[in-house]
Structure 1
Amino acid sequence: MPTREPTSTTNLDIYDDPPLPWSRAHDRLKVDLVEMSTPVFLGTTRPDGRPHSAGIGALWLDDDLYITSGPGTRKSRNLAANPFCTLSMRLQGIDLILEGEAARVTDPETLTNVARAYSEGGWPADVAADALTAPYSAPSAGPPPWHVHRITVHTAFGVATTEPYGATRWRFS
């Protein structure tokens, strides 16, 4: 996830509101994705081209965005075949859609940090080999172990739901 400024910003607002600053979305990601109750939906593409969407628990950690999923789930199989995806979420004051690419994370240090952050957020995750495990997870996650994916965001769209209003697209290199 980009901590830098976007390489381009496009105002999509039709009511003459100024473009939203990226910092508004970025700041909400840091706060709202700590709570597992924030609704986040992962959009992927099946091998035959049909869309797939699933509610997930996304994690914001050290300015990166992470998701978990069992290797046998439809979303994991889709990401293995085509890593491009979307994440749609309702954050406080802004609806956000992120378009990017998922890459599986297996390095022990990152897995340990992700497990610790999930545990601090209320999901008691632990590292198990090159994935995570816990006493429970969402039924849509499939059985453990759960793979961890880091999402690299290329484009983000924000629509403010509180003042100041606006709609903006941000692109990142």
Structure 2
Amino acid sequence: MTGQEPVTELDRRYSAEDAAPTPWAEARAGLAEAEVYWLSTVRGDGRPHVTPLIAVWAEGALYFCTGVGERKAANLADNPCCALTTGANALREGVDLVLEGRAEPATDETLLGRVAEAYVRKYGEGWRFAVRDGAFHGEGGRALVYRVAPVTAFAFAKGPYAQTRYRF
């Protein structure tokens, strides 16, 4: 994203009468501050695959990494469309967030250096990666890094209930 604000729409069908749309700044902050995300991809035979992971918000997108031989890497090689979700995991409070987009490989080593530093700031020294050959390298070996810029995002606020869609 180039700093452009999304079109924001409150879906009144699924929102309380007194609800207001969740501002994008609040949703973006929730995406940045979350510790755990759920990545949904599609296997080559069409079956879904969902897995928890950690990620960082940087430069208008979520970044995550995965080992070269992992299921999510194989799925994304075939179909880069995915969704990342995170939230309060509660019925009556908080905001759940969904970000839909395309997982594009991030290989520029200057960018990867900034993303690697974002991992350390967010998750601590145990998540320090070396950057070389267009990838992260750590105790688990080589990890591919993906950038998911939002195409569509949703915020599901509770108390009052409000379903907000963001179109980029």
Question: Which residue does 1:166 correspond to in 2?
Answer: 162
> How high is the sequence identity, in percent, across the aligned residues?
38
Question: Which residue does 1:11 correspond to in 2?
Answer: 11
Question: Which residue does 1:71 correspond to in 2?
Answer: 68
Query: CA separation in 2, counterparts of 1:134 and 1:115?
Result: 11
Higher deviation after alignment, 44-53 or 7-16: 7-16
Query: CA separation in 2, counterparts of 1:15 and 1:88?
Result: 22
Structure 1 consecutive aligned stretches of length 4 or more whose deviation exceeds 6 Å: none
CA deviations on 1:26-53 (whole Å, 9 max, x unpaired) are: 12223x14xxxx2200000000000000
Q: Quick check: 1:101–1:151 contact (8 Å CA) kept in 2?
A: yes
Query: CA separation in 1, counterparts of 2:65 and 2:108?
Result: 15
Indicate the RMSD between aligned Cα atoms, in angstroms.
1.9
Q: 1:94 to 1:14 in 2, by over 3 A?
A: closer
For 1:84, give the aligned amino acid. Answer: C
Q: 1:14 to 1:115 in 2, by over 3 A?
A: closer
Question: Which residue does 1:138 correspond to in 2?
Answer: none
CA deviations on 1:60-81 (whole Å, 9 max, x unpaired) are: 1233210101111000000010
Structure 1 residue ranges without an equivalent (≥5): 136-142
Q: 1:24 to 1:164 in 2, by over 3 A?
A: farther
Query: CA separation in 1, counterparts of 2:110 and 2:9?
Result: 34
Matched, 1:128 2:132: yes
Q: Quick check: 2:8–2:164 contact (8 Å CA) kept in 1?
A: no
For 2:135, give the aligned amino acid. Answer: A
Q: Give 3-state SS (helix, strand or coil) of 1:145's partner.
A: strand
Q: Quick check: 2:95–2:155 contact (8 Å CA) kept in 1?
A: yes
Taking the TM superposition and a 5 Å limit, the aligned residue runs for 1:28-43 are 28-30=30-32, 32-33=33-34, 38-43=35-40
Structure 2 residue ranges without an equivalent (≥5): none
Aligned residues: 159
For 1:99, give the aligned amino acid. Answer: E
Q: 1:85 to 1:11 in 2, by over 3 A?
A: same
Question: Which residue does 1:117 correspond to in 2?
Answer: 118
Query: CA separation in 2, counterparts of 1:169 and 1:29?
Result: 15
TM-score, scaled relative to structure 1: 0.83
State the 1:23 CA deviation: 1.9
